[in-house]
């Protein structure tokens, strides 16, 4: 998650012995039980099968939960933000029918809130229905054949995850699942001027559940699910979620389920995230640019790295501005690995790059930091709406330092 605070996440749903057995396949320690070290070259598939047979945990459920949590990536043994190790944490139950595991899976994913718990378990059962074909870090393939499973939701059957919750949220298509009142501040001390992009480093339901935990001391306004773009609102926009330190008074925080080192998590959520961001920028009059739509790592005083180098800012920003139509004048560029900066200065954050000569659309230009390169000197910068930042006019392949026919920003 985006907080940096320690997580005390209760894992109460499935048996500690199966956690140890499942985690043995990567040789990672379990917070619930000591895991034996797997011999070098241990097959992930064999470990799944062994854990299922020895501890009455369905193999396919292990694969679905593991894939939903980490895409079967143990992240080199490092803990997630909520202190989970390895691919998963599962525990035993004598009932072997897949459908009957829904309540246990729900409690595993989000022990602190029924709505988040059902959302989590429903997502896992969705993976059972869709099937999984992937490769783990060693290159070994892991597959889960699609199957229709009717979940026996038990105490979660009557939990509202639809219209009732949606009606309470401020964003029309979002669910309302409020954070614990002690994890945010009521009201605002500054006008809303910024949207901050986060990556959870954990699960969707787990993030929602953590915001409901009195120990968390963190929250965000919205959480976006990676599989289908489903959005949950946890804090009212008029209240101050604790998500980005110095930026919290004037920003809306949007968490995205995924991991900074794996871009596959982001594929399905860009459009949903961009639609939410567009809604917020229109509602509060926020400019649709990279000075006002920023990553957590770009907030002054931040010690976080999310959303990381795999977040496609150019694509995301193009979606945010999509309804505005194509704007700007096309110009050719030259140079290799040319930096696109958040602001028109060389010490501003690099938000994108131009790998080689190409064509760009220039919306406007402005005088900024002086750039000297290859015998040229120029303080003019062009704003590239498709890339969400500025490039020195030195790299615009025309004779004039100040581009003809382009307005001042």
- Give the three-class secondary structure for 231: strand
The Cα–Cα gap between 235 and 253 comes to 9
Q: Is the pLDDT of residue 227 over 60?
A: yes
User: Comparing C-alpha atoms, which of 245, 248, 107, 262 is closest to residue 200?
Assistant: 262
- How confident is the model at residue 42, as a pLDDT? 63
Render pLDDT for 297-329 as a digit per residue (tens, 0 to 9): 999 888 888 898 888 887 788 888 875 555 678
- How confident is the model at residue 404, as a pLDDT? 86
Render pLDDT for 164-176 as a digit per residue (tens, 0 to 9): 555 578 998 788 8
With 0-12 / 13-18 / 19 or more C-beta atoms within 10 angstroms meaning exposed / middle / buried, residue 201 is: buried
Least confident range from 16-25, 100-109, 216-225: namely 16-25
The Cα–Cα gap between 161 and 294 comes to 30
Tell me the average pLDDT across 282-295. 91
DSSP state for residue 178 in the 8-state scheme? P
Q: Which of 5-9, 156-160, 183-187 has the highest mean pLDDT?
A: 183-187
Render pLDDT for 378-390 as a digit per residue (tens, 0 to 9): 999 999 887 888 9
Q: Which of 51-60, 66-75, 171-180 has the highest mean pLDDT?
A: 171-180
| In contact, 2 and 244? CB cutoff 8 Å | yes
Reported confidence tier of residue 260, pLDDT bands at 50, 70, 90: confident
Q: Is the pLDDT of residue 88 over 80?
A: no
Strands 364-373 and 376-384 turn out to be: antiparallel
Bond into 147 cis (ω within 30): no
Q: Which residues pair with 175 in a beta bridge?
A: 232
Reported confidence tier of residue 11, pLDDT bands at 50, 70, 90: very low
DSSP state for residue 245 in the 8-state scheme? G
Q: Which residue has the higher pLDDT, 271 or 219?
A: 219
- How confident is the model at residue 43, as a pLDDT? 82
The token pair at 53 is 């047979």
Q: Is the pLDDT of residue 56 over 90?
A: no
| In contact, 191 and 91? CB cutoff 8 Å | no
Reported confidence tier of residue 24, pLDDT bands at 50, 70, 90: very low
- How confident is the model at residue 333, as a pLDDT? 87
Angle 237-238-243 (CA atoms, 0-180°, nearest 5)? 60
């Amino acid at each position: 998650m985006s907080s940096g605070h320690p997580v005390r996440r209760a894992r109460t749903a499935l048996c500690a012995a199966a956690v140890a057995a499942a985690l043995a396949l990567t040789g990672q320690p379990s917070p619930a039980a000591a895991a034996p070290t797997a011999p070098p070259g241990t097959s992930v598939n064999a470990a799944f099968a062994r854990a299922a047979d020895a501890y009455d945990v369905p193999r396919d459920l292990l694969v679905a939960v593991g894939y939903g949590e980490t895409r079967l990536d143990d992240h080199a043994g490092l803990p997630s933000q909520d202190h989970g190790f390895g691919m998963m944490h599962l525990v035993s139950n004598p009932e072997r029918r897949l459908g009957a595991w829904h309540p246990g899976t729900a409690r595993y994913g989000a022990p602190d809130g029924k709505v988040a718990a059902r959302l989590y378990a429903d997502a896992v059962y969705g993976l059972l229905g869709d099937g999984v074909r992937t490769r783990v870090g060693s290159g070994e393939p892991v597959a889960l054949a699609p199957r229709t499973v009717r979940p026996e939701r038990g105490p979660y059957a009557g939990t509202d995850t639809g219209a009732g919750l949606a009606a309470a949220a401020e964003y029309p298509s979002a669910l309302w699942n409020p954070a614990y009142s002690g994890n945010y501040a009521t009201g605002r001390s500054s006008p809303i001027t910024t949207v901050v992009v986060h990556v959870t480093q954990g699960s969707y339901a787990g993030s929602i559940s953590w915001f409901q935990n009195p120990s968390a001391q963190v929250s965000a306004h919205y959480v976006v699910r990676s599989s289908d773009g489903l959005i949950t609102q946890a804090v009212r926009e008029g209240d101050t979620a604790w998500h980005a330190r110095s930026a919290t008074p004037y920003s809306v925080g949007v968490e995205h389920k995924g991991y900074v080192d794996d871009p596959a998590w982001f594929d399905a959520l860009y459009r949903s995230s961009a639609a939410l961001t567009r809604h917020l920028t229109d509602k509060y009059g926020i400019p649709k640019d990279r000075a006002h739509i920023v990553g957590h790592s770009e907030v002054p005083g931040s010690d976080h790295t999310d959303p990381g180098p795999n977040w496609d800012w150019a694509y995301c920003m193009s979606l945010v501005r999509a309804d505005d139509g194509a704007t700007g004048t096309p110009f050719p560029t030259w140079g290799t690995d040319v930096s696109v900066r958040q602001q028109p200065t060389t010490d501003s954050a690099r938000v994108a790059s131009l790998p080689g000569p190409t064509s760009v659309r220039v919306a406007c230009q402005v005088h900024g930091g002086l750039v000297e390169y290859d015998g040229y000197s120029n303080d003019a910068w062009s704003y590239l709406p498709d890339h969400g930042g500025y490039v020195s006019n030195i790299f615009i392949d025309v004779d004039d330092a100040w581009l003809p026919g382009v307005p001042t920003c």
